[in-house]
Amino acid sequence: MFRFLVSSLQKIFYQSDEITLLLKAHNIPWVWVLLIPVSGGLAVGLIIYFFSEQDRNGSVSDVIEGATLNNGRVSLKFGLVSTFVSLVTLTTGGSTGREGPVVHLAAVISTWISNLMNAEDISSRDLLGCAVAAAVSASFNAPIAGTLFALEVILRHFAIHAFAPIAIASVAGTIIGRFFYGNVTEFTLGNETTFAFYSELPAFMILGLICGMVSVVFIRSIFLIDDFATRIQHKNNIPFWLRPTIAGFILGIIAIKFPHIIGVGYETTSGALTGQLALKTIFVFAIVKVAAVVVTMAGRMGGGIFSPSLMIGALTGLAFGLVATSTFPSASGSETLYSLAGMGAVAAAVLGAPISTTLIVFELTGNWQVGLAVMAAVSTSTALTSKFVDKSFFLNQLTRRNLNLINGSQFYLLRNKSVGDVIKNNHFDLIEEAKFEKDIFTGKNFISLDNSLELALQAFDQDNVDYLFVFKPKGEKRKSNLLGVVYHLDVLKIYTEALIKNSQEEHS
């Protein structure tokens, strides 16, 4: 339904669907091309201002956070608002993708189902994986990649217990997608996608390195401009709801000359995969697309990063292929094969998902005969990108929100457990060792009852003590507000149990 709404509303606003947009956009008055993104940006700003609990749009990173820390759940209200914001963005000139909103909407549905069933722990996280796999499969007609995306990106493990239900859900999503859109691939390749085999493999590895550099520039540009826009906003006291409006104005200016930036952009990706673009056009389109995506993301508008990555990768690969095949015509195959490999290489590096991205490239194109070429490019691209960007775009988004899941969830296993779970209410003999001046506690070893055990563990490490005094929430540190004691050993015991449980889930 999300896919249908994107294409239907875009057809209303631009009198064209995404396939024919490039052909018809120049017939639309330039004023209209400018006003649509501005209006969309204003709508996005007002929606977030009045209905969202945060000053940003949601993304796949929120789903990863939900899977890792929130028992397989996301905020229902925030998820619905983010989905609607992304729908407005994609249909009014925003330059992002539809996979992020689809994944977030799937997480909202699985959260509702988990709440309905009172599902906990493994069950709720598996339900989340099922929802994401089905949504990706239905949206892209890619059941294998949908399954692996849920395991590799969202759950971040390949446990046996999760594979069967997620695979079944992915099949179900594919059937639904094919019922409405037919069993057709998203992209059609050129007739001559040939591979000169071993002699050409080094070229694909070089392409992977170039795609890795493009991915690093792409990711860092988004974060750099986002920080710059935030500083400008705070310095000039610009209201938040105006930020997407300004981004929409910039996008409108760009779209007047380069309408290919509008929406998901699969028509340009398809043109690259069939070799219909000239070298000069490729460079211009790639640079402008990166700029448009950066503006959209920094403007806090909605949408995902996967589709733009595919487009930028396809353009990068085609440019490399045109140069390579013209330089070594006797030792190379078709330039469109480089476009295919580049598409997978950039997307894999940005998403931090080489396995599922490699497979989704095959499923999107229906071409399984060029596996070595794509794998060579994907492997070198992800290896290079990982040296400059930790893991993925999504995990870096979380890090920027002070949630570092790059090295795993072990540091956050106690976040949802409170001091009240381990408090000892009858150990007041330790009061004699504490410092009280006129009934006011002056020591450092104290904590509030409503604090998390994660904070308690940090306090133990910092103060090098064996116990903490527990006081009433928001109460003064007086004897009368003292509730009990929490011991370092008790917190470590719960932490060890959580680590064992987490390890068992990942390896079961």
Nearest to 233 by CA among 325, 153, 299: 299
| Options 2.10.10.90, 3.30.360.10, 3.40.710.10, 1.10.3080.10; CATH of 197-400 | 1.10.3080.10
As its CATH architecture, domain 2-181 has: Orthogonal Bundle (1.10)
Bridge partner residues of 484 (DSSP): 470
163-172, 233-242, 396-405: least confident range: 396-405
Q: Which amino acid is at 330?
A: S
* pLDDT reported for residue 192: 57
Measured CA to CA, the distance from residue 219 to residue 507 in angstroms comes to 32
Measured CA to CA, the distance from residue 340 to residue 187 in angstroms comes to 10
Mean residue pLDDT of the chain comes to 86
pLDDT higher than threshold 70 for residue 159 = yes
Residues 464-468, mean pLDDT to the nearest whole number: 84
H helices of 92-199, in order, are 99-117, 121-140, 143-149, 160-181
pLDDT higher than threshold 60 for residue 24 = no
> Is-same-fold flag (2-181; 197-400)?
yes
Residues 275-289, mean pLDDT to the nearest whole number: 91
Is the CB of residue 273 less than 8 Å from the CB of residue 326? no
Q: Which residue has the higher pLDDT, 416 or 297?
A: 297
Is 413-506 a CATH 3.30.450.20 domain?
no
* pLDDT reported for residue 19: 47
* pLDDT reported for residue 274: 85
**CA geometry: angle 321, 323, 326, nearest 5 deg:** 100
Measured CA to CA, the distance from residue 196 to residue 340 in angstroms comes to 15
Dihedral angle sign, alpha carbons of residues 216, 218, 221, 223 = negative
For residue 416, what are its two tokens?
């949802």
Measured CA to CA, the distance from residue 382 to residue 390 in angstroms comes to 10
* pLDDT reported for residue 205: 93
Condensed to tens digits (0 to 9), the pLDDT of residues 85-138 reads: 999 999 998 999 888 999 999 999 999 999 999 998 889 999 999 999 999 999
Residue with tokens 């006129």: 438
Residues contacting 496, CB < 8 A, separation 6+? none
Q: Which residue has the higher pLDDT, 333 or 155?
A: 155
H helices of 329-452, in order, are 335-351, 354-365, 371-385, 393-400
Residues 346-369, mean pLDDT to the nearest whole number: 85
The band of 359, judged by pLDDT with boundaries at 50, 70 and 90, is confident
* pLDDT reported for residue 16: 66
pLDDT higher than threshold 70 for residue 190 = no
Question: Where in the chain are the domains?
Answer: 2-181, 197-400, 413-506
